A = this chain, B = another copy of it.
Amino acid sequence: MRLRKMGLVMAMMLAPAAQADEGMWMPSQLPGIGGQLHAAGFQGNPADLADLTRAPLNAVVKVGGATGAFVSDQGLVLTNHHVAFGVIQYNSNAQRNLIEQGYVAASRGEELPANPDFRLRVTVGFDQVTDQVLANARGKTGRAYYDAVDAASKALVAACEREDGMRCSVANMFYGRDFYLVKQLELRDVRLVYAPPRAIGNYGDEVDNFVWPRHSGDFTVLRAYVGPDGKPADYSKDNKPYMPPAHLRIAREGVSAGDYVMLAGYPGITYRHRTAAEFVDQVQWRLPTAVATMKALQDVIEDAGKADRQAAIHYASQLQSLKNNIKRFSGELDGLKRSNAVAVRQQDEAAMLGWLDRQVDAQALRPQIDAAMAQIADGNATRERDLLLGLIQSQTQLMRSALRLQRLAHERGKPDAEREIGYQQRDEELIAGQLRQVQRRYNAAMEKRLLGALLARYQQLPAAQHVAEFDAAFGRTPAELAATLDRVYAATKLGDEAQRLHWMDTDAATLAASDDSLLQLAAKLQPALLRIDDERKAHEGELLRLRPAYMQTLIAYRKQQGRAVYPDANSTLRVSYGKVTPLAARDAVAYAPLTSTAGIVEKNTGEVPFDAPKPLLDAIAKGDYAGYLDPKSGAMPVNFLSNLDTTGGNSGSPVLNAKGELVGLNFDSNWEAVSASWMFDPRYKRAIHVDLRYMRWLMDKVYPAPWLLQELGVPVR
């Protein structure tokens, strides 16, 4: 808090490169930082947390791209309402709208099957495979290094998945330094047990997204089932509850400001250990350029939508997505500037390299680090072009379809295992689905204007970033570009759904020879896109080869500072620890770390998204909180705030107290923390959790499910 009171200059000097409580630790690292854990308040034995395939961490499961946890010995799983939303939606219809009404299974027999593609994954293996992955790569460079790593990884995965019911993947830790084979048991019969109404589970919706103070009951209870033989099985009424190897126990008491908490989950991706040059690129070029380019597309859609109501409807979702990305990127940029991230990272890296140069192994490492940095700089040479080509492929419908059809036909010429990810046999259903969706999201005039906006920017790039095939296809002047787009879009048949799906079943030669104007265009562009893809892989291969020297140096540098280094997040199980923490978001603004039911009433307008259900408002008015009140504040808690280190993927992560008991459920972070994927600033980084006292009170007093509370092992009051 005192930081907020100092002048800017001092605050900048003190802006932290890293701090206690920062860190998404691999469980195996926890014994090594046991001192820190105990100093923070942990009362257990860090060694008990070291193996993610043993209790209690094997109670933490992957739910889609997010997290959940077993909370009973009969397979009950607790996750977020927004993570299980598809399950609720799947069981809703006009007669029985579970989204609006919520769902309370009256007994185990009334638990409702999830959508058939819904999956829970329990991690059962986590083994170092660095030597296997790199065996054939060592001595190679560039594209060859990339291909060797890729082939070894695919082979390990294929071997691992030979065991029935297993999904496997290779996780890259420390940017190519270590590789782990992750083996997960995949449960396919998952059922809906308890969900609050949308107006509780998603109270505040987009308005409150990224907002603290928050008042959302963002939780849902599921149950995993297996076949009579105890093995993963598709849904069947003969299935029986899965008996997990471990489950978390719900705490009798809650937490208050300053209390120790920890969290386990599957954070998706962070960039904390990127080089200073990559921070410069992100802050000074990538975020502002992406925002400016997306704003140009937003302007096109809004402007064209004024004159054409139907087009406005077709592009509403794309517009919303652009706006969300613009907001999020702008927030990330603001945050990185506020944290002075570039200067902090530059100073830290310079100090690290200065230190390295005084060490004996500098001679071995420094050339590789310099080469990595040169490679990174090299990648920037075409960044403007690459951004535009990416947007051309993501912000169009027909153009994207044409390119995808050509690429799919091309990939089909290889054995399935060698096909590009996204174009393998298992991806074909998804591609067909995307080809079908085009109809609801396409308008020829709009697509021409969007493409025109992007290609106009491309035409203005310096010669070194130009691509011969693109110049030939679209011309080099605005007039040629406009004429080409008019001609191509007037003639193509790709706007017809049956045609698109028909072409999906056509071979490469036929497709390349097609007289469809847009397929022809895509055929001309494809060699360039394949070439650029090759160049990208060669670039990534070099970075895979060279970055470990940078990471090794960072780890050694931190070690002599007395600090451990966690790998950047990569969707593997991580643990973070910290405290229930208030937030001084701005000058003179202090947010308390617990919200209360009074805030639900304050926010309530009676209209979506602040339309708390009557049973909830009645229960609040009645105030029957005995056994659930926070003893310090005397209020009924709803959500709480911590400084736990999280990112996307941590949704649904269980939050544990000092004794390892479940006290909360992670579901969001604050707006000030959107830049945390690059830098953890302890002044602003917070995570937002459902207080389990709120969940228990709802299950006890508002939408009662006493049998479930009993199974969860908590008293009914």
- In the complex, the answer to whether A598 meets B5 with C-beta atoms within 8 Å is yes
A14 CB within 8 Å of chain B:
no
- How far is A338 from B603 in the complex, measured between Cα atoms in Å? 11
- In the complex, the answer to whether B9 meets A623 with C-beta atoms within 8 Å is yes
Contacts of A5 in B (CB 8 A): 596, 598, 633-635
Pick the residue among B8, B338, B593 that contacts A621 (CB under 8 A). B8
A304 CB within 8 Å of chain B:
no
Contacts of A590 in B (CB 8 A): 589-592
A156 CB within 8 Å of chain B:
no
Pick the residue among B2, B10, B601 that contacts A8 (CB under 8 A). B601
Pick the residue among B213, B587, B591, B601 that contacts A598 (CB under 8 A). B587
A468 CB within 8 Å of chain B:
no
- Contacts A7-B597, A633-B5; is A602 near B621 (CB within 8 Å)? no
By CB atoms of chain B within 10 A, which of A213, A597, A602 has the most? A602
In the complex, what's the smallest C-beta–C-beta distance from A138 to chain B, in angstroms? 50
A586 CB within 8 Å of chain B:
yes
Report the nearest B residue to A338, measured CB to CB. B602
- How far is A635 from B588 in the complex, measured between Cα atoms in Å? 11
In the complex, what's the smallest C-beta–C-beta distance from A693 to chain B, in angstroms? 15
- In the complex, the answer to whether A623 meets B10 with C-beta atoms within 8 Å is yes
- How far is A625 from B6 in the complex, measured between Cα atoms in Å? 11
Q: What are 27 A-B interface contacts by the 8 Å CB criterion?
A: A4-B598, A5-B596, A5-B598, A6-B598, A6-B635, A7-B597, A7-B598, A8-B598, A8-B601, A10-B623, A11-B598, A212-B588, A213-B586, A213-B587, A215-B587, A338-B602, A586-B599, A586-B602, A587-B595, A587-B596, A588-B591, A588-B593, A588-B594, A588-B595, A588-B596, A589-B589, A589-B590
User: Considering only CB atoms and an 8 Å cut-off, how many residues of chain A contact the other chain?
Assistant: 37
Q: Other CB < 8 Å A-B pairs besides A7-B598, A9-B621, A587-B602, 19 of them? A: A2-B634, A5-B598, A5-B634, A5-B635, A6-B598, A7-B621, A8-B601, A8-B621, A9-B623, A11-B598, A213-B587, A213-B588, A586-B599, A587-B595, A587-B598, A588-B591, A588-B595, A589-B590, A590-B592
Contacts of A7 in B (CB 8 A): 597-598, 620-621, 623, 625, 636
Report the nearest B residue to A594, measured CB to CB. B588
Contacts of A591 in B (CB 8 A): 588-590
Report the nearest B residue to A3, measured CB to CB. B598
Number of identical monomers bound together in the oligomeric complex: 2
- How far is A586 from B2 in the complex, measured between Cα atoms in Å? 23
By CB atoms of chain B within 10 A, which of A7, A620, A625, A634 has the most? A7
- Contacts A5-B635, A6-B634; is A599 near B595 (CB within 8 Å)? no
- In the complex, the answer to whether B597 meets A588 with C-beta atoms within 8 Å is no
- How far is A596 from B636 in the complex, measured between Cα atoms in Å? 34
By CB atoms of chain B within 10 A, which of A338, A592, A593 has the most? A592
- How far is A9 from B636 in the complex, measured between Cα atoms in Å? 14
By CB atoms of chain B within 10 A, which of A11, A598, A620, A633 has the most? A598
- How far is A197 from B441 in the complex, measured between Cα atoms in Å? 50
Contacts of A602 in B (CB 8 A): 338, 586-587
A182-232 residues at the B interface, CB under 8 angstroms:
212-213, 215
Contacts of A338 in B (CB 8 A): 602
Report the nearest B residue to A215, measured CB to CB. B587
Report the nearest B residue to A601, measured CB to CB. B8
- How far is A6 from B636 in the complex, measured between Cα atoms in Å? 9
Mark each residue of chain A from 268 to 309: 1 if its CB lies under 8 Å from any CB of chain B, else 0: 000000000000000000000000000000000000000000
A27-47 residues at the B interface, CB under 8 angstroms:
none
Report the nearest B residue to A638, measured CB to CB. B587
By CB atoms of chain B within 10 A, which of A2, A620, A621, A635 has the most? A635
A577-623 residues at the B interface, CB under 8 angstroms:
586-599, 601-602, 620-621, 623
In the complex, what's the smallest C-beta–C-beta distance from A580 to chain B, in angstroms? 12
| A-B CB proximity, top 5 nearest | A587-B599, A213-B588, A7-B623, A588-B592, A5-B635
Mark each residue of chain A from 561 to 591: 1 if its CB lies under 8 Å from any CB of chain B, else 0: 0000000000000000000000000111111
- How far is A5 from B598 in the complex, measured between Cα atoms in Å? 7
In the complex, what's the smallest C-beta–C-beta distance from A13 to chain B, in angstroms? 12
- How far is A244 from B599 in the complex, measured between Cα atoms in Å? 51
Report the nearest B residue to A640, measured CB to CB. B588
By CB atoms of chain B within 10 A, which of A587, A596, A598 has the most? A587
Contacts of A625 in B (CB 8 A): 7
In the complex, what's the smallest C-beta–C-beta distance from A164 to chain B, in angstroms? 49
Report the nearest B residue to A5, measured CB to CB. B635
Contacts of A587 in B (CB 8 A): 213, 215, 595-596, 598-599, 602
In the complex, what's the smallest C-beta–C-beta distance from A536 to chain B, in angstroms? 36
- How far is A596 from B7 in the complex, measured between Cα atoms in Å? 9
- How far is A86 from B209 in the complex, measured between Cα atoms in Å? 43
Contacts of A592 in B (CB 8 A): 588-590
In the complex, what's the smallest C-beta–C-beta distance from A548 to chain B, in angstroms? 39
- How far is A458 from B129 in the complex, measured between Cα atoms in Å? 82
Report the nearest B residue to A12, measured CB to CB. B621
